[in-house]
Amino acid sequence: MADHPTAMLLTVPPSSVAVVLDPGDDAIHTHTALAAHHPLSGRVTLHPGPGTTSETGLAHDLLAALGKPPLLPGRFPGGRQPAWQAATAWMTALPVTRLTVLRAHRLTARRAMRLLQLQALTGVHLTLVCHRPRLPAALHQALQTADYSLTADLEAARPHYYGTPITEPRPADEPAGPASRWLTLPALDRLVSYDSPRPCADLCTPPPIVWRHRPPPVPLPPRITQQAAHRLHAATAHPRLAAAVASALFTGASLQQLVTARPRDYDDTAAT
């Protein structure tokens, strides 16, 4: 999703974008949209931070709405942090089906196009709430590439565009917050292992690990597995890093061994 002259040419499938007009800037629109925010149910409400027109800043706001840390680890050239790639990956990986964006009348044309590109890539239903009686010029310009619907009827917008408010308590199987910041994960001391064979340079079947220097890893207890998964979701911004750590945890293999694996190898019946 890096800036590119052809990036703005993406079109949006029909009936996937809705614009809700809120002529009087009625607080009930904002309250209704925020009450419907529930990522676990597939509904995300994005309330962009004020005072900036940065496209990267909007991606940070989206990562925060998804429950992900907005700042990615690592060093990147100015303006080149892959925040939109991370947001797109999380939107695809998580069960998000609806994205509602408040204060859409303040979006620049490029920010609006970023959201339309995100919709085209992920297939979510995108609702833009414009707290004005008519579309501003920037939003009107961006929507030229989209087949969108327009409504000013709150009663229609409430169930159809915003979704119903969430009132149920937290799921009983959701792990509670850890008592300390750190988890002891023995599998991670094998990220670099002299037991692992050298990776294949070309397509090949790598030999299995021969545990010469230490015993094979033991499976993680269910409670620790839950806490680790919860921590990866809540504290890991970059999806590639989350995937690498998760793979190391559930296989107990080192990164030298994991780098030899192909997507088809990640299967319940496949040998690791």
Q: What's the pLDDT score for residue 226?
A: 83
Percent of the chain with pLDDT over 90: 24
Q: What is the mean pLDDT of the chain?
A: 76
Domain 11-162, second-level architecture = 3-Layer(aba) Sandwich (3.40)
pTM (two decimals): 0.64
Residue 225's pLDDT band, with cuts at 50, 70 and 90, is confident
Please write the tens of the pLDDT for every residue from 131-147.
999 999 999 999 998 88
| Higher pLDDT among residues 257 and 21, named by residue | 21
| Higher pLDDT among residues 63 and 11, named by residue | 63
Please write the tens of the pLDDT for every residue from 156-192.
666 666 665 655 444 444 444 444 556 666 666 666 6
Q: What's the pLDDT score for residue 3?
A: 40
The domain locations on the chain are 11-162, 186-265
DSSP the chain: ----TTGGG--EEEEEEEEEE-TT--HHHHHHHHHT-BGGGTEEEE-PPSS---HHHHHHHHHHHTTS-SSPSS---TT---HHHHHHHHHHHTT--EEEES-GGG--HHHHHHHHHHHHHH--EEEEEE-SSS--HHHHHHGGGEEEEEE--HHHHIIIII-PPP-SPPPTTSPPPPSSS----GGGGGSS-TTSPPPPSSS--PPPP--SSSPPPPPPPHHHHHHHHHHHHHH---HHHHHHHHHHHHH---HHHHTT--GGG-STTS--
Q: What's the pLDDT score for residue 206?
A: 60
